[in-house]
Structure 1
Amino acid sequence: MKSRKGTRPEKRSSHVWGNVVIEPEQTASVSLAVTESYSQLTIPIPVVVQRGKEDGPTVFVSAALHGDEINGTGSIRALITENQLCLLKGTLILVPVINILGFDRHSRYLPDRRDLNRCFPGSDDGSLAARMAKIIYEEIVGRSDYGIDLHTAAVRRTNFPCIRGDLSNPEVDRMARAFGCEIILDNVGPDGSFRREATLANCPTIVLEAGEVWKVEPAVVEYSINGIVSVLTELEMVDGLRSDPPFQIVIKKSKWVRASRGGFLRFHVSPGDLVREGSPLATNTSITGVENNFITAPHDAIVLGMTTLPCIAPGDPICHLGFIDEKHKELEKLVKKLPSDGLHGRTSEQLSTNVSVVEPMPHQTLDSPIE
């Protein structure tokens, strides 16, 4: 996919929001009108703006661009109410819910059935989604130098915390590594996505993918806050500590392993697990337990995400694998030494609570046929 240069939105002051002016060392709650209701009522999204003592970069942190992905909303809320950041330089723009219409309906999409995260940079005379995207793009990206957008997996799936970004951009690469996740997925993002268009418009932006929809999961919140603070530390906006993950790997190729037959899954892996080519991912059985087929990894990989729904039809996604070409054995040894009560172990355990993970049967070996 060819890269292109995006159009930078008109630069807006991060300190002035309508009639509200945020002075150095102040925090203010403001609102951004994004659309109108059927009865012509203005519909705003809440924004918290924190300004440091000295000038510096402006960073936005956003969540619920898909309205049902509220792990990020809970993380930003915790950042506001519990973390009490002492901002030394620059400005922090916190947007706990972007897609307010989807959020109010517990839905990924807008009422016009469009995906807001495919409509950037938006337009003045397009669909509801395009018009909202235009306002958000101009008012958030137009005030910012960097961005962090918090997401989860889609419905009936879960993701192990993973940073996604276009690492060919040096500042995206810098932020992605500073965030401190073990896994970084290197890609430019879909056409029309918020982080792709923001980065093209010279506002380097990364995405955290972590957890499930409709939940605020403690380990995901911990990952999110640690990562945000780590990026702000890297940018010298706070006097904090960089997150130091036990390992960090860049994934350039990933694949969803899909079902070839209908059935009922017995899972053998959890999110974040390392798997070797040919190792067991799941067993597909009938609902009475008769084995249909055995599903194995097509490549040395790490489990980026997986379905949480054991009932499958042909073509349904089962497991999202990030391919690892080197250092797999080294990573295996390292991961085995990690404490089970550490963040990595706790996250893997929490994210797999909605699936029954069991050891494969003795006859299911690495030599078993691959689906």
Structure 2
Amino acid sequence: MPAPTQRFTLGGQRIPRGTTRDIRLKVSERYTGDAITLPIRVIRGRKPGPTLFVSAAVHGEELNGVGVIHQLMFDTPLPLNAGTLILIPVVNIFGFENQSRYMPDRRDLNRSFPGKPNGSLASRIAHQVFQEIITKSDYGIDLHTAAGSRTNFPNVRGDLNVTKVRRFARAFGCELMVHGRGPEGSLRREAVKAGCAVITIEAGEPLKIEPRVLEAGVRGVRNCLIHLDMMTGKPVDPPYQVRIDRSTWIRAEVGGILRFHVAPGEVVETGQAIATNVSVYGEAQNILHAPAAGIVLGMTTLPTVKPGEPVCHLAIPKGATKTLQRIFASKQHKNYQQIQKDLATNVTVSEQELDVPNLPQDDDNT
């Protein structure tokens, strides 16, 4: 990683300390030969310090991160005292324009890092971003949402076995810290290999900019800037914070229409009803139950399912009993309640379970 005293250049432009510069980084060309560029804003404090990048829309339809960066750019004062902040509101410009997760050739840009200068379109863009931004940064925050027809309760993901990453993840201030190196070729995994401590934030749905997710994202970025001494201020702490080393997907057993009994961020007990699956005539077919005590990390927002399709992503904390007791006790926290309530508006939650006639109880339905 670069020493904080060396000159900083991006896209061939030198950005002095104490200045802000908007840059268009060329990453490809159109059929006409015209340049395709990524919009980037570089903010430099007057004092030396670390370099942090914040990126969004590596998956082109994941827009919440775009909203977070816009708010950081335009609505939220960022009196940067030290270091360098790089804001990239749209990384996958092709997917962004087509409202698609993928590149035009159906490749996943977030499986293409660190890329190659003479590889596929995705690989070339990944290479350019990696060389121009990631290798020049000490830290990174990569903003994501759930995949199509799903939503995620805000959580931070990273290789928590790496001390620098773990401390940075904790500083962001999400309630849930999910351990994982990330898939091969993902931005965060390859960046950490290169010495840049990157965390991924998963929050909300694709193709939306959700107000409470924006609040959580902006709050987290500011927390990280304060943690790195790039800004002054007091961080906003979450009501609880727990490390997640294990999670499981609860999947549909039969085709039908779901009636949900839980919402994103909700704490559930072993055996608690997650959803009732009903037929097209409204007759209950089976009930999906939680296989362990945990927290609803994510869930489908699409009520229709076929057998095997994912319904609920359940995070299982370490030391579940004591941790869950603390979580129950802290649910009056305002920020927690607000975002949980807003995300729950995307699913219809019913407390009432329907009777399932003539079917044995299935204790292992995941």
**TM class, shorter-length:** over 0.9
User: Structure 2 vs 1, CA of residues 330 and 163 (structure 1 numbering), >3 Å: closer, same or farther?
Assistant: closer
Equivalent residue for 1:190, pick from 170, 175, 183: 183
Equivalent residue for 1:163, pick from 156, 160, 169: 156
Q: Distance in 1 between matches of 2:324 and 2:49?
A: 38
* Aligned-residue offset at 1:119: 0.6
User: Structure 2 vs 1, CA of residues 14 and 65 (structure 1 numbering), >3 Å: closer, same or farther?
Assistant: farther
Partner of 2:336: 344
CA contact (8 A) 1:178 1:243 kept: no
Equivalent residue for 2:273, pick from 280, 286, 293: 280
Partner of 2:131: 138
CA contact (8 A) 2:19 2:45 kept: yes
CA contact (8 A) 2:11 2:132 kept: no
TM-score by length of 1: 0.93
Partner of 2:31: 38
CA contact (8 A) 1:305 1:321 kept: yes
- SS of the equivalent of 1:346 reads helix
Partner of 2:347: 355
Q: CA RMSD in A?
A: 2.0
Cα-to-partner distance string for 1:200-241 (whole Å, 9 max, x where unaligned): 100010000000001111111111111111111111110022
CA contact (8 A) 1:14 1:143 kept: no
Q: Distance in 2 between matches of 1:316 and 1:59?
A: 38
* Aligned-residue offset at 1:27: 1.0
5+ residue gaps, structure 1, are 1-7
CA contact (8 A) 1:183 1:250 kept: yes
TM-score by length of 2: 0.94
Equivalent residue for 1:72, pick from 47, 52, 65: 65
* Aligned-residue offset at 1:334: 4.0
Q: Distance in 2 between matches of 1:329 and 1:359?
A: 25
Q: Distance in 2 between matches of 1:320 and 1:362?
A: 22
AA aligned to 1:267 is: F
Q: Percent identity?
A: 47
* Aligned-residue offset at 1:26: 1.2
Equivalent residue for 2:289, pick from 296, 309, 312: 296
Q: Does 1:83 align with 2:76?
A: yes
Partner of 2:214: 221
CA contact (8 A) 2:53 2:137 kept: yes
> Following TM superposition, where does structure 1 have runs of at least 4 consecutive aligned residues deviating by more than 6 angstroms?
11-14
Partner of 2:253: 260
- SS of the equivalent of 2:164 reads helix
5+ residue gaps, structure 2, are none
CA contact (8 A) 1:274 1:332 kept: no
- SS of the equivalent of 1:253 reads strand
- SS of the equivalent of 2:167 reads helix
User: Structure 2 vs 1, CA of residues 172 and 192 (structure 1 numbering), >3 Å: closer, same or farther?
Assistant: same
- SS of the equivalent of 2:69 reads helix
* Aligned residues between the structures: 360
Partner of 1:117: 110
Partner of 1:53: 46
Q: Distance in 2 between matches of 1:113 and 1:160?
A: 27
User: Structure 2 vs 1, CA of residues 339 and 215 (structure 1 numbering), >3 Å: closer, same or farther?
Assistant: same
Greater CA deviation, 122-131 or 327-336? 327-336
Q: Distance in 2 between matches of 1:203 and 1:103?
A: 26
CA contact (8 A) 1:266 1:282 kept: yes
Q: Distance in 1 between matches of 2:164 and 2:49?
A: 16
Equivalent residue for 2:240, pick from 234, 239, 247: 247
Cα-to-partner distance string for 1:62-94 (whole Å, 9 max, x where unaligned): 000000001000000001101111111100000
Q: Does 1:206 align with 2:206?
A: no
Q: Distance in 2 between matches of 1:97 and 1:299?
A: 38
Q: Does 1:180 align with 2:169?
A: no
